[in-house]
Every structure is written in structure tokens, then in C-alpha cells.
Amino acid sequence: MFSRITTRQTLLVLLTAVLFLASCNVGATPAPTLDLNAINTAIVGTTIAQLSGQFTQTALAAPTNTSAPTEAPATVPTVALPTLSNSGPTATVNPAALPTFSFVNTPAGGATQVSSLPTSAGLATASLGDACNNSIFVADITIPDGSILKPGEDFTKVWRIQNTGSCRWDEGYRLVFIGGDRKIDPIDFEIKLSKDFVESGATKDFGIPLTAPLAEGKYQGTWRMQSDGGFYFGQIISVYFEVKK
């Protein structure tokens, strides 16, 4: 709109100037012929120049996109892993209730020489069982611990044991060899006959036939009661002797 008004004003000014010059030269030199094409060319050039200036100013005023917008990285969620733990039941053992043996050497004859062994009374320091099945050592009836035997001598070791549980020891209960020298030919005593049943609170003498090894030395063996369900219970009993010629 502004460009059209300016062009018309310019044309009007030129026409006015031409008419003024023509009027001034009346009667004198003939007036020059008005060249409309030249005037139109001047007007078009002026218009183009004005439009070019406007486009240049618009281009300079346009904002420059210096950098593309960046998208913030997505936040990765943190997953808490479960902590595994072993929370199952743990069996406990009372070390004071277990026997301790100290073996020194083995002589040329093959006998195991023992420097110190617990006696049956020493092993009977704790009652290991439950309300139904339990026992305690009462006394050595034969072959007291530390006895001297001849090589190859047959003997029977007898212990007196009391039933301190509430259940009767009947068929299936046994006195079982659990450790020591196999050279003494250890065996188990199994209750089979009714005469061997042991009522709650009663005592019984258990005898195990054994044989002294031929080689001189100190020997030992340990036994423990076992229920008809295979559960070991009660105090550990032992035999401890020395073989000499």
C-alpha cells in the first residue's frame, strides 16, 4: 500500500514539473515531447528498489535458528534386586558333650597307642536325647578303664546304663559301636528278647564280647544307644584298656 502511494506521488511531481517547464517556454522554443515510456521505466525502477530494500530488511530481521532443540534423555528406572539369604534351620552341636581323643603314634606291631582317652564317667557329662529316648551311664561293671589285658585275650565289657526317657526300650533298640579300634572286634547289642526290655527309669547291664589285639598298645572303643527308628540318643560309653605281654 505504501509503495503504490509513493509511486503515484512521484509521477504527479514529474508531470507537474513538465507542465511548468512547458508553460514557461510558451512562445519560445517548442516544448519537448513527453516520453511516457521513460517515465514508466523510472517508476518501475523506483518501485523495484523500494521492494528490494524491504525484502533485505525483512531477511535481516528474521531470527536465526542457531541450534536444534535437544530432547532430554529418558531416565532409566533403577530396579532393586532382592537379597537372597539362607534362613533355613541350622543344627547346633554342643562341643562339651562330644568325646576328645588324642592319638600319638602307631607302633610297628600295628596297635594304636593312645596318650589320653576319656573314661565312660568322663563321657557321661551331658544327656543327649529327648523326652522319649534318653540314657545316662551309671558304672563300669567289668574291665574298668585302664585295665591291662594279655594279647589275644577274650573278655566281655559290661556297662550299667539307665533309661532316663519316658519310652520303654524294646525290640529294635540297640547299643551301637560308633567309633574306635576295629582290632578289638566290636559288635552291637540289639534288644530282641522281652527279658532285655528296659522300662522308663530302670537300669540294665549291657555286655559286649571283645578280643584284645595281639600287638601291645592302648586301645579304645565307644558305643551309644539307638532307638528303633534309628535315632542315636543318650550319653556315650567307652572301653579303654592296654595290651601287654
Tens digit of each residue's pLDDT (9 = 90 or more) over 41-90: 554 454 444 544 544 444 444 444 444 445 554 554 554 544 444 444 44
Domains defined along the chain, listed by start = 2-57 (no CATH), 99-243 (2.60.40.10)
Q: Which of 240, 229, 230 is nearest to 123 (CA)?
A: 240
Look at residue 129 in the predicted model and tell me its pLDDT: 82
Q: Name the band, by pLDDT with cuts 50, 70 and 90, for residue 190.
A: very high
Which distant-in-sequence residues (6+ apart) come within 8 Å of 191 by Cβ?
A: 169, 170, 171, 172, 173, 174, 197, 198
In angstroms, rounded to a whole number, what is the distance separating the alpha carbons of residues 51 and 25?
Answer: 38
In angstroms, rounded to a whole number, what is the distance separating the alpha carbons of residues 146 and 154?
Answer: 16
- Quick check: pTM over 0.75? no
Residue 107 in grid coordinates: 607302633
Pairing of strands 174-180, 154-163: unpaired
Q: Is 188 helix (H, G, I), strand (E, B) or coil?
A: coil
Residue pair 245/209 in contact (Cβ under 8 Å)? The answer is no
Query: What φ, ψ does residue 39 adopt, rounded to 5°?
Result: -65, -45
Pairing of strands 189-190, 174-180: antiparallel
Look at residue 131 in the predicted model and tell me its pLDDT: 93
Top-confidence residue, 203 or 78: 203
Look at residue 243 in the predicted model and tell me its pLDDT: 97
